[in-house]
Amino acid sequence: MEIISTVVVLVVKSLIFILGMFLAAAYLTLIERKFAGHVQQRPGPLHVGFHGLLQPIADALKVLTKEDLVPNNVDKVLFYLASLMAFVPAIMILAVIPFGDPIKIFGFEIKPYITDINVGLILALAFGSISIYGVIFAGWASNSKYPMIGGLRKAAVLIGYEVALGFAMVGPIMMAGSFSLREIVQAQEGFFGAFIWYQPLAFIVILFAILAETGRTPFDVQEAEAELVSGYNTEYSGMKFGLFPLAEWYIGTFVLSAIAVILFFGGWKGPHIFGAFSPFIWFFLKVFMMFMFFLWVHWTLPRYRVDQITEIAWKVMLPLSLLNIFITAIIIMVKG
Amino acid sequence: MAITGNSGIILTTVEEVLSWSRRNSLWPVSIGLACCAIEMMHTAASRFDTDRLGIIFRGSPRQADVLIVAGTVVNKVAPMLKLIYEQMPDPKWVISMGGCASGGGPFPTYSTLQGVDRIIPVDVYIPGCPPTPQALLWGIIQLQKKIKEKKEGKELKEIPIRVPTESKPIKQI
Amino acid sequence: MLWINPQKAEGLKSAFPSLKISHQKNSLSVEIDKDKVLELLKYLKENPEYSFKMFIDFTLVDYPLHNPRFQAVYILYSPDYNERIIVKTWTDETLPSITTLWKGAKWAEREAYDMFGVRFEGHENLVRMFLWETYPYFPLRKDFPKEGIKDTYLPSLNERDNIPSHDYDPYHTAIPTLEDLEITERKRINKKNQIVLNWGPLHPGTHGTIWFLFDLEGETIKDCDIILGQLHRGIEKLAEDLTYTQIIPYTDRMDYISALCSNIAYVNAVEKLLGVEPTEKAKWIRTMMAELQRINSHLLWLGTTALDLGALTMFLYTFREREKLMDIIEGIAGIRLNSSFLRIGGVRYDLPEGSLDVIKHFIKDFPSRIKDYEDMLTKNRIWIRRNKDVGVVTKEDVYQYGLTGIMARSAGVPYDIRYIQPTDAYPEVDFEIPLGTVGDAYDRYLLRMEEMKQSLNIIAQCVKKLEELKNDKHLATENPYVLPTLQETYFSIEAMVKDFNLRIYGEKAPKGEIYLSGENPRGELGFYIVSEGEGRPYRLRIRSGAFYNLQIFPELIKGRTVADAVTLLGSIDPVVGETDR
Amino acid sequence: MVKLKYVERPKLNLIEKLFFLDFIKGLKVTFKNLIKRTVTTKYPYEKLTPPKRFRGTHAHRVKDGNEPPSFSVLEKFMDINTGESRCVACYMCQQACPVPSLFRIEAIQLPNGKKKVVRFDMNLLNCLYCGLCVDACPVDCLIMTDIYETAKYQREKCVIHMDDMSERGKDFDRRRLKEPDRIWIDDQERIKLWGQIKWS
């Protein structure tokens, strides 16, 4: 009985998370388009629904009912697999991200996370790395030159920044003394307890790494439109195409923003001014601010060349994150 | 040619919803050929902003719904353009922007294709050299009307959707 | 006029006794036998007394009744003495290639082969320039009809049953198949490395329909060639059938981003040929409009280049300012892009009410926008890293390839037509010509930004002057070659008859030739017009700046990556309408 | 006077490099624009009115008593009633046009010796909108209007004929004939992009 109830709870939770994430991702596209519009002094989606509120639905319906075109000379298995490989790991990271402390509603204890395991962060990194395969498969299976180059570029960038990202996360982990994301949040007490004040170097490295991981400028080499049309997903159409930007630009950015908020901004901690849902609101507010910051950078800066990006990854970001570990270790040792 | 399935017996509401989503999310291929491409860029820019109507430009034809042929199509580029059109997934539409694309325009010469409709079927013709952004937007609205009409299987005729009169009357001075 | 001093030209006779010197009102040309021409050009290039180092243009003129049939025309420029010279020779089938002297002649010779079928001995890869490899005709020959040979049944797919219009013909000229294009591609480049990447012709990043072929190893470009002609509309052929006034709208559509500048270059050449002097006011209006158009064009360049390098928002900011300029041009000329505003002897309309106020507002407002752009890009480390040391052009390259405009000035060569051969009101305005020190893409960016500021300065001076000239005439209608205005036609029968005459027979230009150029935002746009005393030009050759500037691209890109190709192409800033004509 | 000058190449100093001042400058510009008002004209709900000089679809002015003197000279050979197109079939527009084939003008000889224009077709798909035909018209008949919304589903619909050109001409004259020759007349619409302009 115990097992069944756990399974049911898990399934229900997962469904809520996945559906919620889909909807959120769809509306994140609208937020991005609105934001980009206003940065450029235009309104963005406006006439489809009230202020473009139905725009994501129209886009989704259209993309779903579009002819599913598979070019003749592609490797069919990999071609289908690639879009899943890119999308599923991005969603799976959600499994380890806590959105708040357990709360009690109608006597039930609801845990706003799927699992809380003590290697949460490592799992998140691992899932993040799997999505590289999606990109490489997409590039390879398309049997076309632009996707090929785009895929290889993206792989080079991801590998470089995965390392920097991992090492930069070590700083907060050392301070919290745990890999569990929940415990990391609990280690940050009060406004000045947030790790951003102690780990600014790690934060900068992680900012750059997230930009690179999610393919936003200045690191969006994989789909630099002027060079590679639309990069590794050039040959994809319909919903198979839709999954890529959804996974990468929206879910990826959202999830990684959540991790960054947990690591540096004390997660859902904040003054209890919104009542019972205060932790959620704080958490989503912080993640949203983070997301907006990425958008802001995306719509401002030009992009690096791919060799310059990898150069920065290996020559600047990696040493910086190692230096950060070193400094943190010394401080912890001195303080005891 | 472009619209599939029009039995008229089942699921008209579903079809209506689909037609609504299609006409509100027309993604053109960002391919510019000549002068008209500049006006097409202006249409996408801040002053006129096609994004309002849900139109965003995609680089790859595989992800696009509309081919806006913006500029002179010369014989040498015609097979490529046809290839691009064939790479687009159904349902797809073609807007022929400007005189050159629609009918050869002012270049009745040995090297110019006299109308892009000789190689790909065209849905909307926009005269002009080049058409202003407003004229292009009007053409896009005409295409949206066409998509709506096709769905209902009616004869094509001018129907009043939420569009004011032609060219706003000028206040008397 | 910048022609070489006749006495100095006589000096050439000592070395080449068979030389014929012809000194006309608008040109100075020397004629020599075909087998001596290479020697003469070498002499002109290397002798320090002449030092015609810079290659401007090469073309052919077809005289079907003359024997030999084709006249070859070389136009050279001497930067040391600020002089031009035309060298001519006659041929029937072959000519010696001058690519050993000037690399810039490579494409010009290919174009001549493409259009006239004259072969060049010693050319490294003589293939078609604009048309495809299996195209059987040579279109610019006089015996080829302008509309081509309509031998293919190619009806409209939409309207099979009814005839769409009175000038519709279901028969069409042959269009190539994909195999034909593949043959064309094969002829250009041999695969030596890993993959041959087709960059273009219908690609978001190629600024139109240029077709690049990259032989790649990884992402490094080992070899590159360019296929042009995806927008070859045959303007040169069309022009032979039109009166001088009727060609004006076509010059718009060549360099469609700077239509007014092209108008001005063309109209100036025709006016010199006809001996028409535009009115004072027209000159100032032209200068003002040209500079507005220059800002317009540079803004488009800035926007698209920034877009190509990833700064998406920049594109929309520049287009916002372009909208303002479009508003001004629309208000004055009547149409936003291809304005056809100029007429022989002046401009089409006088300035409308309120136009100077709007322009003044723009002058006041624009510097703060430039500052925004500079804040976003100039010192941005990404921008600097992407642009620095990409495509370094040296002075020698400038002379070898005939580079003009920003490309020449970024290498430190002060080659600006507004400076060496000022037309219109340019002799009377003050401005600075920025020069680069390194010659890379970053220099070209800085130069263009500086030019926008200088253009603003010129516009301010023009506005001041035009306020004084308020009641002057905008068209020199008293001249017999100038079309009367509508008001004159309505009220005077003489004007109506003159109008009818000029419309039907064209402006009968005296027999002769002229080469005159204007400073386009993209480089020197020159018009070489041969008149046989008729109302239509016998041959109109357009020397396009972008055509020659683009020619250096394959050399500069070797050993760099695809991402650099975007930067370099952006900094060269070609417009396909002008390169292909 | 024209002067030559060499441009300076700016360099980043250490402080700018370390604190990302170059990025912050750029972010400042985008933020400044984020809080500004949009410049968009919400076509089709709002429209820019083309200026009077705008070269849009062609039209014919009709015989309405405002003809120029040249018309009265040429009218003697013609059979034109009031309210009909002023065209006198002089073919000057066709002569002036760079693409003459786009015109198709036909006139017949009536029994009373006068001429009547029976056909005046223009294929707008071949038109350059250069305005040379308008400049050539000696009787102020052929004009260009501010109509630009001309997208059509069929190619044959893009050919305009004499009767609809006369209608368009009447409509245009009714709306805009008395308007001054101004750079634009819809200041309220354009204020979004331009801001307040100081008119003299």
Instruction: Output the domain CATH number for residue D122.
Output: 3.30.70.3270
Binding residue per annotation — B36?
Answer: yes
Backbone angles phi, psi at D147, to 5 degrees: -80, 125
pLDDT tens-digit readout, B27-62:
888 788 888 888 888 888 888 888 888 888 888 888
Residues of D with a Cβ under 8 Å from any A Cβ are 23, 26-27, 29-31, 33-34, 36-40, 42
Please report, for residues C284, C322, C462, the alpha-carbon distance to residue C356 in angstroms, rounded to integers and kept in the order given.
13, 17, 10
**DSSP 8-state code for residue A249:** I
Query: Considering only CB atoms, which chain C residues are within 8 Å of B42?
Result: 319, 322-323, 326, 336
Smallest CA–CA distance, residue B62 to chain A, in Å, is 5
C349 touches chain D (CB under 8 A): yes
Mean pLDDT value across chain A: 80
Residue count of chain B, please give it: 173
Q: Residue B159: inside a domain, yes or no? A: no
In this prediction, residues C350-355 reach a mean pLDDT of: 84
Instruction: Assess A297–D contact: CB distance below 8 Å, yes or no.
Output: yes
Q: What's the rounded Cα separation, in Å, for the pair C432 and D1? A: 8
Residue D49 CA neighbour count, 13 Å, CB half: 20
DSSP character string of C198-252: EE-SS-TTSTTT-EEEEEEETTEEEEEEEE--TT---HHHHHTTS-HHHHHHHHH
> A interface mutation test: which of C203, C374, C445, C562 has the most A CBs within 10 A?
C562
What is d(CA C244, CA A226) in angstroms, rounded to the nearest whole number?
39
Task: Give the integer Cα–Cα distance in Å for A78 and A86.
Answer: 12
Please state which of the ranges B40-44, C177-181, C326-330, C396-400 shows the lowest mean pLDDT.
Answer: C177-181
Of A43, A299, A300, the CB nearest to D38: A43
Q: What is the pLDDT of residue B1?
A: 35
In residues, how long is chain A? Answer: 336
Q: Is residue B165 part of a domain?
A: no
CA–CA separation, D91 and D94 (whole Å):
5
**pLDDT averaged over chain C?**
86
- Tell which C residues from 426 to 445 touch D, by Cβ distance under 8 Å: 426, 430-438, 442-443
B12 pLDDT band, cuts 50/70/90, is: low
| Domain assignment of residue B132, yes or no | yes
- CATH number for the domain harbouring residue B144: 3.40.50.12280
* Residue A100 · residue A283 · CB < 8 Å: yes
D4 inside domain: no
For residue range A183-199, list pLDDT tens digits in order: 777 777 777 777 777 77
Residue D47 is assigned to a structural domain of this protein? no
Report pLDDT for B165.
37
Q: Is the pLDDT of residue C319 over 70?
A: yes
Q: Is position B139 within any domain?
A: yes
- Residue B162: the pLDDT is 33
Position A133 confidence tier, pLDDT thresholds 50, 70, 90:
confident
C391 touches chain D (CB under 8 A): no
Q: What is the mean pLDDT of residues C165-179?
A: 82
Q: Do D155 and B128 touch (CB under 8 A)?
A: no
Q: Per-residue pLDDT for A107 more than 70?
A: no
Q: For chains A and B, what is the number of CB pairs under 8 angstroms? A: 92
Share of chain C above pLDDT 70, in %: 99
C343 with C475: CB under 8 angstroms?
yes
B163 close contact with A: CB closer than 8 A: no
B12 assigned to some structural domain? yes
Instruction: List the domain boundaries for chain A.
Output: 1-65, 69-335
CA distance D128 to C506: 19
| Domain with D112 in it | 58-176
Helix and strand numbers, DSSP H then E, in chain C: 21, 18
* Tokens of residue C399, six digits: 């002379």
Alpha carbons A250 and D196: distance in angstroms, whole number: 40
**Which chain A residues touch B if contact means CB-CB below 8 Å?**
33, 37, 40-48, 52, 54-55, 57-63, 65-69, 225, 229-230, 233-238, 241
Q: Chain A to chain D, count of Cβ pairs less than 8 Å apart? A: 34
- Which residue in B21, B51, B58 is closest to A44 by CB distance? B51
Q: Does the pLDDT at position A181 exceed 80? A: no
What gap in Å lies between CA B96 and CA A189, rounded to an integer? Answer: 63
Is residue B168 included in any domain, yes or no? Answer: no
Rounded Cα–Cα distance for residues D163 and C119 (Å): 55
Q: Which of B109, B115, B117 sits opposite C238 (nearest CB)?
A: B109
Q: Do D193 and C320 touch (CB under 8 A)?
A: yes
Residue carrying structure tokens 């495809």: C132
Best mutation target, B113, B166, B170, to test chain D (most D CBs within 10 A): B170
CB–CB of C237 and B80 under 8 A?
no
Q: If contacts are CB pairs under 8 Å, which of residues 32-71 in chain B contact chain A?
A: 45-46, 49, 51-54, 56, 58-60, 62-63, 65
Residues B113-122 have pLDDT tens digits of 888 888 888 8
Looking at the complex, report in whole angstroms how far the Cα of residue B173 sits from the nearest Cα belonging to chain A.
31
Model pLDDT for residues C324-344, shown as the tens digit of each residue: 888 888 888 888 888 888 888
User: Which candidate in D17, D25, D30 is best for mutational testing of the A interface (most A CBs within 10 A)?
Assistant: D30
Any C CB within 8 A of B131 CB: no
Closest CB to C432 among D5, D9, D96: D5
Dihedral class, residue A266 (left if φ above 0, else alpha if ψ from -120 to 50, else beta): left
Which residues of B are less than 8 Å from C546 in CB distance?
none
Q: Is the pLDDT of residue B168 over 50?
A: no
Looking at the predicted structure, is the pLDDT value of residue B159 above 50? no
Q: How many degrees, rounded to 5, is the angle at CA C428 between CA C422 and CA C430?
A: 95
Provide, as residue numbers in chain D, all residues whose Cβ is less than 8 Å from the Cβ of B146: 153
Q: Report the number of distinct structural domains present in chain B.
A: 1
**Chain A interface residues (partner C, CB cutoff 8 A):** 36, 39-42, 145, 149, 153, 217-218, 220-221, 224-229, 299-308
Quickly tell me which residue has 């015996």 as its tokens: C143
Q: Per the domain annotation, does B105 fall within a domain?
A: yes
Cα C237 to Cα C148: distance, rounded to the nearest angstrom = 11
Residue B163, pLDDT above cutoff 50 = no
Distance in Å, alpha carbon of D24 to nearest chain A alpha carbon: 10
Structure token digits, residue C439: 């010659």
Q: Are C517 and C526 in contact (CB under 8 A)?
A: yes
Q: Which one of D4, D19, D71 makes the best mutation probe of the C interface by having the most chain C beta carbons within 10 Å?
A: D4
Q: What is the mean pLDDT of residues C516-540?
A: 87
If pLDDT is split at 50, 70 and 90, which confidence band does A336 have? Answer: low
| pLDDT value, residue B3 | 42
Which tens digit of pLDDT belongs to each residue from A198-242?
Answer: 778 888 888 888 888 887 878 777 666 667 777 777 788 777 887
Q: Which residues contact C17 (CB under 8 A, 6 or more apart)?
A: none
Orientation of helix A76-92 relative to helix A2-39, angle to 10°: 100
Distance CA D111, CA C436 (A): 76
CB atoms near residue C34 (< 10 Å): 15
Residue C82 has pLDDT above 50, yes or no: yes
Distance, in Å, from the CA atom of C576 to the CA atom of B71, rounded to the nearest integer, reads 11
Contact check, Cβ <8 Å, D4/C250: no
Distance separating alpha carbons of residues B113 and C454, to the nearest angstrom: 41
Residue D36 lies in a domain: no
Cross-strand pairs, C525: C518
CA distances from B67 to B35, B92, C203 (A): 16, 8, 13
Average pLDDT (C545-553) is: 88
**Above 60 in pLDDT, residue C548?**
yes
Q: How far apart are the first and last CA of chain A?
A: 47
Chain B window 55-84: which residues touch C at a Cβ cutoff of 8 Å? Answer: 59, 71-72, 74-81, 83-84
Say if D34 falls within a structural domain: no
Range of the domain at B92: 2-149
The count of domains in chain D is 1
Q: How close A149 comes to chain C (CA, Å)?
A: 8
pLDDT score, position C161: 66
ipTM of the assembly? 0.90
**Closest residue, chain D, to B135 (C-alpha):** D149
Name which of A39, A42, A46 is nearest D30 (Cβ-Cβ): A39
Q: How many CA atoms lie within 13 A of C365 on its CB side?
A: 17
pLDDT of residue D189: 81
Q: Which residues of D touch A33 (CB under 8 A)?
A: none
C268-296 average pLDDT score:
88
**Model pLDDT, residue A48:** 80
Asked if pLDDT for residue C192 goes beyond 80, the answer is no
Min Cα separation C45/chain D (Å):
26
Under an 8 A CB cutoff, do A225 and C317 touch?
no
What is the structure's pLDDT at C492?
A: 83
User: What does the pLDDT read at residue A106?
Assistant: 65
Question: Cβ(C115)–Cβ(C140) under 8 Å?
Answer: yes
Give a yes or no: residue D129 inside a domain.
yes
Among all residues of chain D, which has the CA nearest to that of B93? D153
pLDDT of A276 above 80: no
